[in-house]
Structure 1
Amino acid sequence: MDLKGSSAIVTGGASGIGAAAVRQLADLGVTVVIADLQAEKGEVLAEEVKGVFAHVDVTNTEQIGAAVKAAADIAPLRAVVNSAGIGWAQRTIGRDGTVESAHSLEAFTKVIAINLIGTFDMVRQAATAMSLNEPDDDGCRGAIVNLASVAAFDGQIGQASYSASKGGVVGMTLPVARDLAASGIRLNTVAPGLIDTPIYGEGPESEAFKAKLGESVLFPRRLGTGAELASMVIECLTNSYMNGETVRLDGGIRMPPK
C-alpha cells in the first residue's frame, strides 16, 4: 500500500518508539499527526517532519476524535500507529496478608484504560474515517498497527496489569481485523521485546544497565533500536498481504519470571 500523500496518526509519537515511527512515515511522504501529551517534544518533532502535533490523552474519546478529524482534514487518513502506553509493576498480593498491600486496583484499571481501551478507541474512530476513503487498486482503504509487548506472552512477576493490557491488544487483533476486512482496512500488532528508549535514562550507568539487559537476548545480544521496531511497523502498514497478525520483534528473547 502506497502511503505517499496521505495522513497518519501516531499515538505516543512524541518520543521513543512512537517518534521513530513518525520519522519513518514522514520519509514516505506522509503528513503525520503526533498524538501525545508531551507538547514540547511533540511540537519540536512536528516541526522537524512537517507534521502536526495534537494534544491527546487516549482515555479522552473527544481528544481522539479531534486528532482523527485533524488528520482526515489534511489528507486521506490511511495509517495509524497506536504506540501510547504506560507500565506498572506490583505483585498481586502484598507480604503482610492485608488487602491494603495487594495490587492497586486503581493502578490496574488505569493501565487497562490507557493501553487497551485507549488503543481500541483510536482503532474504532480512525477506522471509521478510513472507511470513507477511496480504495487503492488492492481494495485497501487504510492500515492500523497496534503496539503490544512480549509481556503479553512472557509476563514477569509484578506485570499483571501490563501483561493483561498488552494481552488484550494481542487478543483483539484477529477479531478486529476480521471486523474491518469488509471495509478494506488491515490491522496488525507488533509485540516488541527490549527496545532502547529514553525510559532507560542516559550516561555510563544507563549504558551498562542496557548492556546487561541485552545479554538476555538470544541474538543479537543487545537491545533493539527504535528504528528497527519502526521498520517492522512500516512493513505491517505497507505490505498489503499482512493482516490479522501479531509479530514479535524481540531478538528471540523469552522473558524469565523476574
Structure 2
Amino acid sequence: FVCFAVLFWFFCTKMFTTLITGGASGLGFAVAKQLAQNGVCHRIVLGDLNEDLGQERVAELNQLMRETSGFEALFVLCDVTKTDQVHALVGVASARSQSHPLRLVVNSAGIGFPARLVSGNGEPADRDVFARVVDINLMGTFDVCRLASSAMVKHSSIAADGTRGLIVNVASVAAFEGQIGQLAYSASKGAVVAMTLPLARDLARHGIRAMTVAPGVMETPMMASAPAKTREGLTADVVFPKRFGTAEEFAQLVEHLWQNKYFNGETVRLDAAIRMPPVSRL
C-alpha cells in the first residue's frame, strides 16, 4: 500500500505537461530548463515564432533529460495573435491528457516597441504599432489563458482541495512605472496585471490558480540589443543587488509559484526594488 501511495503521488505531481509561450528564448526557455532539470514535470511544450531556434531548444532539453524515462519536449510554431495557432498549440499540450495532463501554463510571449506619442517633428505615434504591441502582449495572453484553461478544466484534480493547475502570466514593472516611450508596452502589461485577480477568481471554481510576475530589468535577448547607454542608465536605477536580473532567477520564481499552492491572484515584482523614473531611453 505504501509503495502504491508513493507511485500515485509521483504520478500526480510529476507526470504532467507544461505549456510555455515565447518558450524558445529568454525567460520562457529558462523556465523550461529549470522545470526539466529539477524534475518538476516530464512533458514540456514550447510555443514560439522562431521555428529553427525552437527545434534547437527542444533538442537541447531532450538531450539534457535523456536519462529521465518518459521525458518529452516538443516545439509548436505559434503566433499568439492567431487563434488557430493558439488552438493548435493547446491541442498539442493537452494531447496526452490521460498520462500527462496540462497543469502549468507560462505566458512569456511579448514584445516592446518604444515610441513617443508625438515625435520631435510633431508627427503622431503610429496607431498600428500600438495595436500590435497590445495584440501580442495582452490579447495573445488572454487567448492562451482562455483556451488553455478550457483544456485544463477537463482534467481531474490532483489534490483533495480540487487543485488542477496554475497559469503564470508575465507583465513588467513598466505596468506600474512606465517610462517615456512606453505607452503601448505599459498599457499592455498594466492590463495583464489588472487581469490577474479576476482571472484567479474566475478560475477558482475549477481549481486553477492565476499569478503574474512583473520582472524588472532582466538580462534577456530583448535587453541585450539595447544601447550601452540605456543599459547603464537602467542599472543605475536598481537598488540591490545592483545588476540586471537573470532569466534563471525568473525561472526559480515560477517554479516556486508552482510548488507553493497558496500563491493565487497576485502580481509579484521581481525587480531588486527598482522604481523606474520618468525619463526617456529613446
What letter matches 2:150 in structure 1?
A: T
* CA shift digits 1:141-174 (9 cap, x unpaired): 1100000000000000010000000000000100
Change (3 A) 1:209 1:115: closer
Q: Could you list the runs of 5+ residues in structure 1 that have no partner in the other structure?
A: none
What letter matches 1:10 in structure 2?
A: I
What letter matches 2:112 in structure 1?
A: G
Shift of 1:3: 4.4
Partner SS state of residue 269, structure 2: strand
Q: Is the CA contact 2:13–2:158 (under 8 Å) kept in the aligned structure 1?
A: no
TM-score by length of 1: 0.93
1:90 aligns with 2:115: yes
Q: Could you tell me how far apart the structure 2 residues matched to 1:128 and 1:11 are?
A: 17
Over the aligned positions, Cα root-mean-square deviation in angstroms equals 1.8
Q: Could you tell me how far apart the structure 2 residues matched to 1:96 and 1:71 are?
A: 49
Partner of 1:116: 138
Partner SS state of residue 81, structure 1: strand
Partner SS state of residue 237, structure 2: coil
Q: Could you tell me how far apart the structure 1 residues matched to 2:265 and 2:45 are?
A: 24
**63-72 vs 230-239, which moves further:** 230-239
Partner of 2:4: none
Partner of 1:214: 235
Indicate which of 12, 26, 37 corresponds to 2:49.
Answer: 37
Indicate which of 59, 74, 88 corresponds to 1:66.
Answer: 88
Q: Could you tell me how far apart the structure 1 residues matched to 2:15 and 2:146 are?
A: 23
Shift of 1:131: 0.3
TM-score by length of 2: 0.85
* CA shift digits 1:37-56 (9 cap, x unpaired): 01111111111223000000
Paired residues, number: 252
Moved over 4 A (4+): 208-212
Q: Could you tell me how far apart the structure 1 residues matched to 2:242 and 2:174 are?
A: 19
1:174 aligns with 2:197: yes
Shift of 1:94: 2.6
Shift of 1:198: 2.0
Partner of 2:175: 152
**22-31 vs 83-92, which moves further:** 22-31
Partner of 1:53: 75
Change (3 A) 1:111 1:212: closer
Partner SS state of residue 120, structure 1: helix
What letter matches 1:52 in structure 2?
A: L
Q: Is the CA contact 1:3–1:78 (under 8 Å) kept in the aligned structure 2?
A: no
Partner of 1:18: 28
Q: Is the CA contact 1:87–1:111 (under 8 Å) kept in the aligned structure 2?
A: yes
Change (3 A) 1:176 1:5: same
What letter matches 1:169 in structure 2?
A: V
Indicate which of 251, 264, 272 corresponds to 1:251.
Answer: 272
Q: Is the CA contact 1:80–1:144 (under 8 Å) kept in the aligned structure 2?
A: yes
Percent identity over the alignment is 48
Q: Is the CA contact 1:144–1:237 (under 8 Å) kept in the aligned structure 2?
A: no
Q: Is the CA contact 1:211–1:222 (under 8 Å) kept in the aligned structure 2?
A: no
* CA shift digits 1:48-72 (9 cap, x unpaired): 2230000000001111111111011
Q: Could you list the runs of 5+ residues in structure 2 that have no partner in the other structure?
A: 1-8, 63-72
Change (3 A) 1:158 1:198: same
